[in-house]
Amino acid sequence: MTLSCLGQIALPVSNADRSEQFYGDSLGLPKLFRYGELVFFDCGGVRLMLEGSGKAPVQAGTGVCHYFKVEQIETVAAELQTKGVVFEAAPHLVAKMPDHELWMGFFRDPDGHLLAVMEEKR
């Protein structure tokens, strides 16, 4: 048996409605469906399940970051900013690899979860 790819990632959120708006409208993720306080989005074939609980998530933003692969990171960041997404710092070069440069820009969701856009520039 070999594990190969993720099928779903669960993320606890304090308010399913607010998070549904942020991930759907602000970030532009395609919504798959909603069942009660569970909201499901498609992230390139991996489901992101937001688990609304009505209370603050435990340890939000401590040690876990979800990275979204993008092309033209500066353009994507500018578009997200027009939708109210606040970046902690502008997208910047993180590392020069032998065959590409790794660029990242970090921001937080309404519950303080750390998120990022990343681009591997050739």
Angle at 117 between CA 48 and CA 71, to 5 degrees: 105
Q: Which fold has domain 8-121?
A: 2,3-Dihydroxybiphenyl 1,2-Dioxygenase; domain 1 (3.10.180)
Q: Is the pTM of this model over 0.85?
A: yes
Question: How does residue 58 score in pLDDT terms, banded at 50, 70 and 90?
Answer: low
Burial 28-62 (b: 16+ CB within 10 A, else e): ebeeeebeebebbbebeeeebbbebeeeebeebee
| Longest pairwise C-alpha distance within the chain | 47
Per residue in 71-90, pLDDT (tens digit) is 999 999 999 999 999 999 89
For tokens 């303080």, name the residue: 112
